[in-house]
Amino acid sequence: MPSPYILDRTSVTVVMAWVLAALLPGIGVYVWLFGPGILLTLSIATVTAVAAEAGMLKARGYPIKPFLGDLSAVVTAWLLALSLPSLAPWWLIVTGTLFAIVVAKHLYGGLGQNVFNPAMVGYAVLIVSFPVQMTQWAGPLELTATPLGIGQSAAIIFGADVPKSLLDAVTMATPLDTLRTGLLQQHTVDEVVRQPIFGYLGGTGFEWLAAAFLLGGLLLWALRIISWQVPLAFLVGVWLTAGFLHFFDAGRFGAPWFHVFAPSVMLGAFFIATDPVSGATTPRGKVVFGLGAGFLTIVIRTWGGFPDGVAFAILLMNLCVPLIDQYTQPRVYGEVRKEPRA
């Protein structure tokens, strides 16, 4: 702890601004490999989040300008938007963002009071309520016959009269969807991953997106905005659980590097599970939180109802935070532990 005459220049606004900056490499790679649709998704989510934040602050009697300027609503909007299909209909983006800001954030007391990560609550509501719309992911441009421009992306997002053939030509199942479907059809992993959607470590294009999120996450770690415990433990949890299953039956369970190099895992490890409000606070607790989230991610991906499990894994671990913090408190200097009675 610094001496009281040493001022800490860090503020919520500065931290949130660095988080947004760290997401820019991932957004740039997203546009490069999957088209500009994600820019529209980010814009819709941002406008909705800012409007909802202002409305709730006014309704609760708080001053709007200082709270709105802390950028926390924009961070929530970006994290949710990057978890959604880039060609998702506008009403889906608005619904998820409103639920994240109004219900998951402000009805729990606002910034610093939320029990669950707001962005992941919004995502969970959407995947449970609208599973069909949540599966229309834009395919990598190198695999799609008709790369979309910004106008065509806007037409799809805002529900214009778009030929179904065009939509079918630019959307496809994600690598996780493809692997899950193939395994359910009794194919082996080796047979499934021969399809063009799979790249060297993860999915075609998706693995580069994961690398970009990793780069942004390392920037946050270098700036000490996040600690190393949660992201490292999260990745180790995913790797060990997936590796254990793959070791015993490589034909039924995907390789650990395939799961680690999914963009959702990198985004979750460095930007979502590291939420200082809804995550564990003690150093050992952060390790437990990360390992648990990684373990649950693979369990849900393997036996759950959805192909990806990052959001639900983090929300389940949010539930465990009070218990984790209680049993991982560091020993106070000079404390003498009581010996159990014989």
Three-state DSSP state, 198: strand
Calculate ∠ Cα 182-188-189, nearest 5°. Answer: 80
How crowded is the C-beta side of 315, counted as CA atoms within 13 Å? 15
Per-residue confidence (pLDDT) for residue 145, from 0 to 100: 66
Residue type, 76: T
CB distance 319 to 272 below 8 Å: no
Burial of 106 (0-12, 13-18, 19+ CB in 10 A): buried
Q: Strands, DSSP E only, in 106-223? A: none
CB distance 102 to 52 below 8 Å: yes
For the chain of 342 residues, list the mean pLDDT of each consecutive stretch of 10. Answer: 59 93 96 93 97 94 87 96 93 97 93 91 95 85 77 85 72 86 89 87 90 97 94 97 94 92 94 93 95 96 88 96 91 67 58
Per-residue confidence (pLDDT) for residue 207, from 0 to 100: 93
Burial of 11 (0-12, 13-18, 19+ CB in 10 A): exposed
Single out the residue of 107, 139, 104 nearest to residue 124, CA to CA: 104
Distances (CA, A) of 34 to 86, 111, 220: 8, 33, 25
Non-local (6+) Cβ contacts of 92 within 8 A are 84, 126, 130, 133, 134
**Looking at residue 134, what DSSP letter applies?**
G
Q: Where are the domains of the chain?
A: 11-172, 174-326
Q: Please name every residue paired with 171 in a beta bridge, in sequence order, or none if there are none.
A: 138
CB distance 116 to 315 below 8 Å: yes
Taking the C-alpha atoms of residue 5 and residue 115, their distance in angstroms, rounded to an integer, is 33
Handedness of CA 193, 199, 200, 201 (dihedral sign): negative
CA 126, 127, 130, 134: dihedral to nearest 10 degrees? 100
Q: Please name every residue paired with 198 in a beta bridge, in sequence order, or none if there are none.
A: 203
Per-residue confidence (pLDDT) for residue 124, from 0 to 100: 95
210: left (phi > 0), else alpha (psi -120 to 50), else beta? alpha
Per-residue confidence (pLDDT) for residue 8, from 0 to 100: 60
Non-local (6+) Cβ contacts of 333 within 8 A are none
Single out the residue of 102, 99, 46, 113 nearest to residue 75, CA to CA: 46
Taking the C-alpha atoms of residue 76 and residue 84, their distance in angstroms, rounded to an integer, is 13
